[in-house]
Structure 1
Amino acid sequence: MIDLIASSIVIRSVVLFGLFAAIAFISFVGLNVTIRRRDERRALERLVVNRTDEGKTASLRTFGNESAWARIAQRLEEAGLSLADSKDDRLSAKLKEAGFNSPSAPRIFTLIRLALVFALPAAALTFLFLAGKRPEIFTIYLVGSALGIFGLFLPNLVVSAKADRRKQAIINGFPDCLDLMLVCIEAGLGIEAAMDRVGREVVDAHPQVSELLSAAGLQLRAGASRDEAFRALADTAGVEEIRSFTTLLIQSDKLGTSVGSTLRVYAEEMRERRRMRAEEKAHRLPVLISIPLVVFMLPVMIGVLMLPAAIRIVRDVAPLLAGG
């Protein structure tokens, strides 16, 4: 058996990849068992709440809306493989900033990372063998390790990029929504009705802001206090401008000042900030343009200016130096 494995590079590669997968799987299972025991000792109440949520208390709104990834993650956890992260609260906040508000988003994120760790090396090795190449053992190990590490960090990069784009879209669209909200409040609507109206009006122009305002309006309709709804709005957005805006609304509500004047002042301030950001980007353009100018155009200009002198030196000075 050993001679057969040693004689064929394909069988040897399959055996080594199987050993790598088995060791990685055993390590992952052992780490998850340790994390599960620690979480059970430290967060028993949260597990009880999760079991209650997984029972028959699901609402009609969420019934049947679980994705295939969520069902796969739930079946893996029922089989004994914990997909809980050691920093679950921080991961949930990061996913909410990227727009993933589902309760099963952290488990799906961990499942995707685990799948990519094995899928990317397997796909690369399959492509190499189908292409007719027979890589060495060290090459297989190096490629598998590099792609496994890349698959481990790729979801983090995607979530961070999506969170940055979402924050930028919220920052760019929020001043327009504030102007519409100010018009609604001056027309006689309350803050709850104004949020709901503006959320429905800007659903096509600024969908991220529309989602935030609609969620805050639904929380207010459901009976939550204004402090809770506004703080939840700021936490979900993860943007400093909206956090300051909600703080102003909370203070205005507690002190009894006019909400319309508060919105007018803050809308003007946000428009000024947006204008300053645009000017900052405009002032950065000369510096950014100078880089391709120096890299591409300066050598060409130097060559054009120096080429006639170089030709004359070669024709006239070089023969004199050579004694001609």
Structure 2
Amino acid sequence: MLDLVSSNWAFRGIVLLLIFGLVAIAVFVVSGIVSRRMRVSRELATLGGDTSSPTNESLTRQRSEGAWARIVREVEKAGLNLGDTAESEISKQLKAAGYMSTSAPRAYTLIRLMMIFALPGLFILVSSFQSEPPTLTRLYFTSAFLALLGLYIPNLFVRAKAERRRAEIVNGFPDCLDLMLVCVEAGLGLEATLDRVGREMASSHPRISGMLTQTTLLMRAGASREDALRKLGEVAGVDEIRSFATLLIQSDKLGTSLATTLRVYSSEMREARRLRAEEKAHRLPVLLSIPLVVFMLPTMIGVIALPAIVMSIREVIPAMMGDL
């Protein structure tokens, strides 16, 4: 039986699939037991008067949630707990990338689990249709590498998206400050200024417009200026916006001129943006030297030295051989 399994690719694939299935079933059963215990604990807490149960969600929130949130809810109802010990850190990374939903960390965990099993499964499926199937060792190590890759690809994607979002906010915020300065000098208050600038920048800088609109709605809903501005800094996840929110809070408490504060901070941010552009410009010669050395320098050396080499082969070497 062992000789048949080791010599036949089909049997090797079936054995690997059986092992994979047994491991997946064991993980599913254990997670189901743990999640059932947690669900019983939550139900007992609900009966004891806990009002934070998911059953108290509003109908508006249930209608506005996305497809991934519904998938996560159905998966957790099936018994698989998608909670993570580092959920606060994951939530912070996802908010920096623009995912503000409360179900985003669990959806992120679900996607990572799917990628861990999907990439090796796809590789095994593709390998089964090849004329010369890979060896068992290669299949094992390649599947393990693809599983690790599937574990880290979502993390890399979230980090790249967070960096792009941060760059868009930082590059567009000086324009926002200029518009706010014009509105303040025209006589508008802080709430009216945020609302006006948020509507004006809806097409040019939609991310900044959404944050300002959210801050305005918080103020209209009864939140204090300090709480709304601190929420703006937390939602943005950018140091420049946090500093701006702190500056506005201090200016409001101390009674200093809001126009002067905006003018000074706007000039500082524009200077910082100019310095970043100069830094990138100064890096270009160093970055361009790499392809020049790798691709153009060998070609130039070959063009310059090739005639001398040909002449040496045709004339110098035969002359030296004739003298010998």
Using the size of structure 1 for normalisation, the TM-score is: 0.88
The answer on 1:236 being equivalent to 2:235 is: yes
Q: Is residue 63 of structure 1 aligned with residue 85 of structure 2?
A: no
Distance 1:18 1:107 in 2: 28
Opposite residue 211 of structure 2, the aligned amino acid is L
Secondary structure in 2 aligned to 1:141? helix
Task: Give the deviation of 1:2 after TM superposition.
Answer: 7.3
Aligned to 1:23: 23
Are 1:177 and 2:170 matched, yes or no?
no
With over 3 angstroms needed to count, the CA separation of the structure-2 counterparts of 1:32 and 1:83, relative to structure 1, is: farther
Letter in 1 for 2:159: S
Residue in structure 2 matched with residue 191 of structure 1 by the alignment = 190
Q: Quick check: 226-235 or 23-32, which moved more?
A: 23-32
Aligned residue identity for 2:215:
A
1:318 pairs with 2:317: yes
Distance in 2 separating the partners of 1:151 and 1:109: 12
What's the offset of the Cα at 1:9?
A: 2.5
Q: Is the 8 A contact 1:92 1:105 kept in 2?
A: yes
* Aligned match of 2:12: 12
1:266 partnered with 2:265: yes
> 1: distance between equivalents of 2:6 and 2:284?
61
The answer as to whether partners of 2:215 and 2:231 remain within 8 angstroms in 1 is yes
Instruction: Give the match for residue 129 of structure 1.
Output: 128
| Percent sequence identity over aligned pairs | 51
Q: Secondary structure at the match of 2:187?
A: coil
TM-aligned CA deviation for residue 292 of structure 1: 1.4
In 1, Cα distance between equivalents of 2:205 and 2:121 = 41
Q: Which residue of the partner structure matches residue 222 of structure 2?
A: 223
Q: Is the 8 A contact 2:202 2:209 kept in 1?
A: yes
Quote the residue 1:72 is aligned against. Answer: 71
Displacement, 1:216? 1.3
Residues of 1 paired with 2:45 and 2:170: CA distance?
Answer: 38
Say whether the 8 Å CA contact 1:35–1:86 is kept in structure 2: no
Contact map agreement 1:95 1:106 (CA 8 A) in 2: yes
Distance 1:222 1:69 in 2: 29
**In 2, Cα distance between equivalents of 1:272 and 1:103:** 37
1:51–1:123 Cα change, 3 Å: farther
2-structure distance, mates of 1:219, 1:90: 25
Contact in 2 for aligned 1:175/1:271 (Cα 8 Å):
yes
2-structure distance, mates of 1:248, 1:293: 47
Q: Distance in 2 between matches of 1:183 and 1:310?
A: 71
Aligned residues of 1:212 and 1:237 also touching (Cα < 8 A): yes
Give 1:269-308 correspondences, 5 Å limit: 269-308=268-307
CA distance in 2, matches of 1:50, 1:302: 78
Distance in 2 (CA, whole Å) between partners of 1:301 and 1:287 is 20
Deviation per residue, 1:178-203 (Å, 9 max, x gap): 11111111111111111111111111
Q: Secondary structure of 1:55's partner?
A: helix
1:186, 1:260 within 8 Å by CA — same for their partners in 2?
Answer: yes
| Partner Cα separation in structure 2 for residue 28 and residue 51 of structure 1 | 30
Deviations 1:130-161 (A, max 9, x none): 34443332232222211111111111011111
* Aligned twin of 2:208: 209
Q: Structure 1 residues 292 and 101, CA, compared in 2 at 3 Å: closer, same or farther?
A: same
Aligned partner of 2:13: which letter? Answer: S
- The answer to whether the Cα contact below 8 Å between 2:6 and 2:12 also exists between their aligned partners in 1 is yes
The alpha carbon displacement at 1:18 in A equals 2.8
Instruction: Tell me how far apart the structure 1 counterparts of residues 251 and 13 of structure 2 sit (CA, whole Å).
Output: 68
Q: How far did residue 95 of structure 1 move?
A: 0.3
- TM-score normalized by structure 2? 0.88
1:116 and 2:115 correspond: yes
Equivalent runs, 1:42-61 vs 2, <5 Å: 52=52, 54-60=54-60
What is the CA deviation profile of residues 191-243 of structure 1, one whole-angstrom value per residue up to 9, with x for unaligned ones?
Answer: 11111111111111111111111111111111112222111111211111111
Please give the secondary structure, in 1, of the residue aligned with 2:62: coil
Task: State the Cα distance separating 1:24 from its structure 2 match.
Answer: 4.9
Instruction: Report if the CA contact (8 A) 2:97-2:163 is conserved.
Output: yes
Distance change in 2, residues 1:318/1:7 (3 Å): closer
Cα distance in 1 between the residues matched to 2:8 and 2:49: 54
CA distance in 1 between partners of 2:316 and 2:213 (Å): 81
Compared with structure 1, are the counterparts of its residues 274 and 53 closer, same or farther at alpha carbon in structure 2 (3 Å cutoff)? farther
Matched, 1:257 2:256: yes
Equivalent residues of 2:171, 2:273 under 8 A apart: yes
Aligned counterparts of 2:22 and 2:139: Cα–Cα separation in 1: 16
Determine if contact 1:13/1:140 at 8 Å carries over to the other structure: no
Paired residue total: 320
| Alpha-carbon contact 1:234-1:242 (below 8 Å) kept | yes
8 Å CA contact retained: 2:180, 2:194: yes
